[in-house]
Structure 1
Amino acid sequence: MSLPRTAVAAAAASAALLLLAAPQAAADGKPGRQGKHGRADGTDGRFFLSVSGGQNTWIRGVQLSCPDADGHHPHAAEACTTLNKAKGDPGRVTGAEHRCTRQYDPVTATAEGEWNGRPVVWHKTFPNACALDGATGPVFRF
Protein backbone atom coordinates (compact mmCIF):
# COMPACT_ATOMS: atom_id res chain seq x y z
CA MET A 1 0.00 0.00 0.00
CA SER A 2 1.50 3.33 -1.02
CA LEU A 3 0.76 6.79 0.31
CA PRO A 4 -0.70 9.42 -2.02
CA ARG A 5 1.90 11.88 -3.27
CA THR A 6 0.10 14.79 -1.61
CA ALA A 7 0.33 13.10 1.80
CA VAL A 8 4.06 12.52 1.36
CA ALA A 9 4.55 16.11 0.15
CA ALA A 10 2.57 17.50 3.10
CA ALA A 11 4.60 15.49 5.59
CA ALA A 12 7.86 16.61 3.99
CA ALA A 13 6.75 20.26 4.02
CA SER A 14 5.78 20.04 7.69
CA ALA A 15 9.11 18.48 8.63
CA ALA A 16 11.04 21.08 6.64
CA LEU A 17 9.24 23.98 8.30
CA LEU A 18 9.84 22.56 11.76
CA LEU A 19 13.52 22.10 10.98
CA LEU A 20 13.71 25.70 9.78
CA ALA A 21 12.27 26.83 13.13
CA ALA A 22 15.02 25.08 15.14
CA PRO A 23 17.79 27.59 14.33
CA GLN A 24 15.54 30.40 15.65
CA ALA A 25 15.34 28.65 19.02
CA ALA A 26 19.12 28.34 19.11
CA ALA A 27 19.51 32.00 18.16
CA ASP A 28 17.26 33.00 21.06
CA GLY A 29 19.71 31.31 23.43
CA LYS A 30 16.88 29.58 25.25
CA PRO A 31 16.88 25.82 24.74
CA GLY A 32 13.42 24.47 24.12
CA ARG A 33 11.96 27.96 23.70
CA GLN A 34 11.10 29.19 20.25
CA GLY A 35 9.31 32.49 20.94
CA LYS A 36 11.27 35.70 20.66
CA HIS A 37 10.45 36.72 24.21
CA GLY A 38 10.81 33.33 25.95
CA ARG A 39 7.92 34.26 28.20
CA ALA A 40 7.25 32.13 31.25
CA ASP A 41 3.54 33.00 31.45
CA GLY A 42 2.43 30.10 29.25
CA THR A 43 2.18 31.93 25.94
CA ASP A 44 5.32 30.78 24.15
CA GLY A 45 4.69 28.56 21.14
CA ARG A 46 5.27 27.95 17.47
CA PHE A 47 3.10 25.77 15.26
CA PHE A 48 2.79 24.70 11.69
CA LEU A 49 -0.96 24.38 11.16
CA SER A 50 -2.45 22.61 8.16
CA VAL A 51 -5.87 21.65 6.87
CA SER A 52 -6.41 19.04 4.16
CA GLY A 53 -9.44 17.78 2.29
CA GLY A 54 -10.70 14.23 2.08
CA GLN A 55 -8.23 11.77 0.56
CA ASN A 56 -5.62 14.59 0.74
CA THR A 57 -7.16 16.15 -2.37
CA TRP A 58 -5.87 19.56 -1.26
CA ILE A 59 -3.84 20.99 1.58
CA ARG A 60 -3.06 24.42 2.97
CA GLY A 61 -0.87 25.42 5.85
CA VAL A 62 0.47 28.35 7.81
CA GLN A 63 3.03 29.02 10.54
CA LEU A 64 1.90 30.63 13.80
CA SER A 65 4.21 31.98 16.52
CA CYS A 66 2.92 33.10 19.90
CA PRO A 67 2.91 35.47 21.74
CA ASP A 68 4.39 37.56 18.95
CA ALA A 69 1.62 36.61 16.51
CA ASP A 70 4.35 36.21 13.89
CA GLY A 71 3.93 34.13 10.79
CA HIS A 72 1.37 34.27 8.04
CA HIS A 73 -1.77 33.40 9.99
CA PRO A 74 -4.52 35.91 9.12
CA HIS A 75 -6.00 35.77 12.67
CA ALA A 76 -2.74 35.28 14.59
CA ALA A 77 -3.57 37.31 17.70
CA GLU A 78 -6.92 35.57 18.21
CA ALA A 79 -5.40 32.15 17.49
CA CYS A 80 -2.63 32.75 20.06
CA THR A 81 -5.17 33.89 22.67
CA THR A 82 -7.29 30.80 22.00
CA LEU A 83 -4.28 28.46 22.24
CA ASN A 84 -3.14 30.17 25.43
CA LYS A 85 -6.53 29.49 27.04
CA ALA A 86 -6.14 25.84 25.97
CA LYS A 87 -2.58 25.70 27.39
CA GLY A 88 -1.19 25.07 23.90
CA ASP A 89 -3.28 21.93 23.33
CA PRO A 90 -5.36 22.22 20.13
CA GLY A 91 -7.54 19.37 21.41
CA ARG A 92 -8.64 21.55 24.34
CA VAL A 93 -9.63 24.52 22.18
CA THR A 94 -13.27 25.47 22.52
CA GLY A 95 -14.59 27.22 19.47
CA ALA A 96 -17.88 28.99 19.05
CA GLU A 97 -20.31 26.22 18.21
CA HIS A 98 -22.62 27.12 15.35
CA ARG A 99 -25.04 25.34 13.09
CA CYS A 100 -23.58 23.39 10.20
CA THR A 101 -25.09 21.33 7.44
CA ARG A 102 -24.76 17.57 7.62
CA GLN A 103 -22.84 17.46 4.36
CA TYR A 104 -20.02 14.95 4.66
CA ASP A 105 -16.92 16.48 3.10
CA PRO A 106 -14.19 15.59 5.62
CA VAL A 107 -11.29 17.88 6.46
CA THR A 108 -8.30 17.04 8.63
CA ALA A 109 -6.65 19.66 10.83
CA THR A 110 -3.05 19.19 12.00
CA ALA A 111 -0.92 21.17 14.45
CA GLU A 112 2.77 20.37 14.87
CA GLY A 113 5.24 22.37 16.90
CA GLU A 114 6.00 23.39 20.45
CA TRP A 115 4.28 25.13 23.37
CA ASN A 116 6.48 26.27 26.28
CA GLY A 117 9.20 23.84 25.24
CA ARG A 118 6.79 20.88 25.08
CA PRO A 119 6.36 19.19 21.69
CA VAL A 120 2.83 19.19 20.29
CA VAL A 121 1.57 16.89 17.54
CA TRP A 122 -2.19 16.90 17.06
CA HIS A 123 -4.57 16.00 14.26
CA LYS A 124 -8.28 15.46 13.97
CA THR A 125 -10.72 14.83 11.12
CA PHE A 126 -13.98 16.78 11.08
CA PRO A 127 -17.06 15.99 8.97
CA ASN A 128 -16.78 19.30 7.08
CA ALA A 129 -15.10 22.72 7.17
CA CYS A 130 -17.98 24.28 9.12
CA ALA A 131 -17.59 21.70 11.91
CA LEU A 132 -13.83 22.40 11.98
CA ASP A 133 -14.44 26.13 12.34
CA GLY A 134 -17.04 25.61 15.04
CA ALA A 135 -14.73 23.38 17.07
CA THR A 136 -11.43 25.24 16.69
CA GLY A 137 -12.41 28.90 16.28
CA PRO A 138 -9.69 31.19 14.91
CA VAL A 139 -6.86 28.64 15.20
CA PHE A 140 -7.60 26.98 11.85
CA ARG A 141 -9.20 30.01 10.13
CA PHE A 142 -6.74 30.52 7.30
Structure 2
Amino acid sequence: MSLPRTAVFAAAAVAALLALAAPPAAADGKPGKPGEPARPGHGETGAGRFLLTVSGSQDTWIRGVHLSCPDATGHHPHAAEACAVLHRAEGDPDRVTGTEHECTRQYDPVTATAEGEWNGRPVVWHKTFPNACALDVATGPVFRF
Protein backbone atom coordinates (compact mmCIF):
# COMPACT_ATOMS: atom_id res chain seq x y z
CA MET A 1 0.00 0.00 0.00
CA SER A 2 1.58 3.29 -1.01
CA LEU A 3 1.04 6.69 0.55
CA PRO A 4 -0.72 9.38 -1.47
CA ARG A 5 1.66 11.90 -2.99
CA THR A 6 0.12 14.76 -0.96
CA ALA A 7 0.75 12.93 2.32
CA VAL A 8 4.39 12.37 1.40
CA PHE A 9 4.74 16.02 0.38
CA ALA A 10 3.11 17.22 3.61
CA ALA A 11 5.41 15.03 5.71
CA ALA A 12 8.45 16.37 3.86
CA ALA A 13 7.26 19.96 4.33
CA VAL A 14 6.76 19.48 8.07
CA ALA A 15 10.21 17.84 8.37
CA ALA A 16 11.78 20.79 6.57
CA LEU A 17 9.97 23.27 8.83
CA LEU A 18 11.11 21.37 11.92
CA ALA A 19 14.72 21.48 10.73
CA LEU A 20 14.47 25.25 10.18
CA ALA A 21 12.76 25.80 13.50
CA ALA A 22 15.30 23.94 15.63
CA PRO A 23 17.18 26.49 17.74
CA PRO A 24 20.90 26.08 18.29
CA ALA A 25 21.70 24.18 21.45
CA ALA A 26 24.29 25.31 23.96
CA ALA A 27 26.79 22.98 25.55
CA ASP A 28 24.80 23.05 28.79
CA GLY A 29 21.67 21.82 26.94
CA LYS A 30 19.83 25.12 27.35
CA PRO A 31 18.57 27.12 24.37
CA GLY A 32 20.88 29.68 22.82
CA LYS A 33 24.34 29.78 21.35
CA PRO A 34 27.21 27.85 22.98
CA GLY A 35 28.79 29.98 25.68
CA GLU A 36 25.94 32.50 25.62
CA PRO A 37 24.19 33.01 28.95
CA ALA A 38 20.57 32.01 29.13
CA ARG A 39 18.11 34.85 28.59
CA PRO A 40 16.44 36.03 31.75
CA GLY A 41 13.03 34.46 32.15
CA HIS A 42 13.63 31.74 29.54
CA GLY A 43 12.32 28.44 30.86
CA GLU A 44 10.70 30.15 33.84
CA THR A 45 7.48 32.05 33.15
CA GLY A 46 5.84 32.40 29.79
CA ALA A 47 8.75 31.04 27.79
CA GLY A 48 8.30 28.61 24.94
CA ARG A 49 9.10 27.64 21.39
CA PHE A 50 6.62 26.22 18.94
CA LEU A 51 6.39 25.01 15.39
CA LEU A 52 2.83 25.91 14.42
CA THR A 53 1.25 24.37 11.33
CA VAL A 54 -2.11 24.51 9.62
CA SER A 55 -3.05 21.99 6.93
CA GLY A 56 -6.02 21.58 4.65
CA SER A 57 -8.32 18.64 4.21
CA GLN A 58 -6.38 15.42 3.51
CA ASP A 59 -3.10 17.41 3.65
CA THR A 60 -3.80 19.07 0.30
CA TRP A 61 -1.78 22.06 1.57
CA ILE A 62 0.26 22.92 4.64
CA ARG A 63 1.87 26.05 6.05
CA GLY A 64 3.81 26.65 9.20
CA VAL A 65 5.81 29.12 11.24
CA HIS A 66 8.22 29.10 14.14
CA LEU A 67 7.25 31.11 17.23
CA SER A 68 9.49 31.79 20.22
CA CYS A 69 8.15 33.48 23.35
CA PRO A 70 8.49 35.75 25.28
CA ASP A 71 10.82 37.36 22.74
CA ALA A 72 8.13 37.10 20.04
CA THR A 73 10.70 35.93 17.51
CA GLY A 74 10.32 33.70 14.51
CA HIS A 75 8.40 34.24 11.31
CA HIS A 76 4.95 34.63 12.86
CA PRO A 77 3.23 37.81 11.56
CA HIS A 78 1.42 38.34 14.90
CA ALA A 79 4.13 37.04 17.22
CA ALA A 80 3.62 39.46 20.13
CA GLU A 81 -0.13 38.87 20.24
CA ALA A 82 0.29 35.09 19.88
CA CYS A 83 2.82 35.01 22.73
CA ALA A 84 0.50 37.08 24.95
CA VAL A 85 -2.39 34.69 24.29
CA LEU A 86 -0.19 31.64 24.92
CA HIS A 87 1.13 33.23 28.12
CA ARG A 88 -2.45 33.68 29.43
CA ALA A 89 -3.17 30.04 28.49
CA GLU A 90 0.06 28.88 30.20
CA GLY A 91 1.25 27.46 26.88
CA ASP A 92 -1.72 25.10 26.53
CA PRO A 93 -3.38 25.51 23.11
CA ASP A 94 -6.58 23.96 24.50
CA ARG A 95 -6.84 26.88 26.94
CA VAL A 96 -6.34 29.58 24.30
CA THR A 97 -9.32 31.85 23.80
CA GLY A 98 -9.84 33.57 20.49
CA THR A 99 -12.23 36.33 19.58
CA GLU A 100 -15.85 35.54 18.87
CA HIS A 101 -17.08 36.42 15.40
CA GLU A 102 -19.51 35.00 12.87
CA CYS A 103 -18.45 32.15 10.57
CA THR A 104 -20.16 30.37 7.73
CA ARG A 105 -21.11 26.76 8.18
CA GLN A 106 -19.03 25.69 5.18
CA TYR A 107 -17.27 22.40 5.83
CA ASP A 108 -13.68 22.72 4.64
CA PRO A 109 -11.69 21.21 7.52
CA VAL A 110 -8.30 22.47 8.62
CA THR A 111 -5.97 20.86 11.14
CA ALA A 112 -3.81 22.96 13.42
CA THR A 113 -0.75 21.62 15.25
CA ALA A 114 1.55 23.07 17.88
CA GLU A 115 4.72 21.21 18.73
CA GLY A 116 7.45 22.46 21.01
CA GLU A 117 7.81 23.34 24.66
CA TRP A 118 6.46 25.79 27.22
CA ASN A 119 8.45 26.43 30.40
CA GLY A 120 10.42 23.26 29.73
CA ARG A 121 7.26 21.15 29.38
CA PRO A 122 6.79 19.42 26.01
CA VAL A 123 3.71 20.43 24.05
CA VAL A 124 2.28 18.27 21.28
CA TRP A 125 -1.17 19.40 20.23
CA HIS A 126 -3.36 18.98 17.16
CA LYS A 127 -6.99 19.66 16.49
CA THR A 128 -9.22 19.69 13.43
CA PHE A 129 -11.70 22.52 12.90
CA PRO A 130 -14.62 22.60 10.43
CA ASN A 131 -13.07 25.57 8.56
CA ALA A 132 -10.41 28.29 8.86
CA CYS A 133 -12.86 30.75 10.40
CA ALA A 134 -13.68 28.32 13.23
CA LEU A 135 -9.92 27.89 13.81
CA ASP A 136 -9.54 31.67 14.09
CA VAL A 137 -12.47 31.97 16.51
CA ALA A 138 -10.95 29.26 18.74
CA THR A 139 -7.28 30.27 18.64
CA GLY A 140 -7.14 33.97 17.82
CA PRO A 141 -3.71 35.21 16.70
CA VAL A 142 -1.87 31.96 17.47
CA PHE A 143 -2.71 30.34 14.12
CA ARG A 144 -3.26 33.57 12.21
CA PHE A 145 -0.45 33.22 9.65
Give the TM interval when normalised to the shorter protein.
Answer: 0.7 to 0.9
Counterparts of 1:5-16 in structure 2, within 5 Å, are: 5-16=8-19
Equivalent residue runs for 1:1-142 within 5 Å: 1-3=1-3, 4-17=7-20, 20-21=22-23, 23-24=24-25, 26=26, 29=28, 31=30, 37-39=39-41, 42-142=45-145
* Matching residue's letter, 1:132: L
Aligned length: 136
Runs of 4+ in 1 over 6 A off after TM superposition: none
Q: What TM-score comes out, normalization by structure 2 length?
A: 0.84
**Which consecutive residues of structure 2, in runs of 5 or more, have no partner in the other structure?**
33-37
Which segments of 5 or more consecutive residues in structure 1 lack a partner in the other structure? none
Letter in 2 for 1:37: R
Please give the per-residue CA displacement for 1:58-77, whole angstroms capped at 9, x wherever unaligned.
01100001010111100000
Q: CA deviation at 1:101?
A: 0.5
Kept after mapping to 1: 8 A contact 2:48/2:119: yes
AA in 2 matched with 1:46: R
Identity of aligned residues (%): 71
1:103 and 1:38 map into 2 onto residues whose CA distance is: 46
Distance in structure 1 (CA, Å) of the matches to 2:18 and 2:66: 12
> Structure 1's 86 and 139: CA in aligned 2 closer, same or farther, altered over 3 A?
same
Higher helix fraction: Structure 1 or Structure 2? Answer: 1
Contact 2:65 2:76 in 1 (8 A): yes
What is the DSSP-based 3-state SS (H/G/I as helix, E as strand, rest coil) of the residue aligned with 2:136? Answer: helix
Structure exhibiting the larger radius of gyration computed from Cα positions: 2
What is the deviation of 1:38? Answer: 4.3
Coordinate RMSD, CA, aligned:
2.0
- Give the match's secondary structure for 1:63: strand
CA contact 1:30–1:38 (8 Å) conserved in 2: no
Matches of 2:92 and 2:2 in 1, distance apart? 31
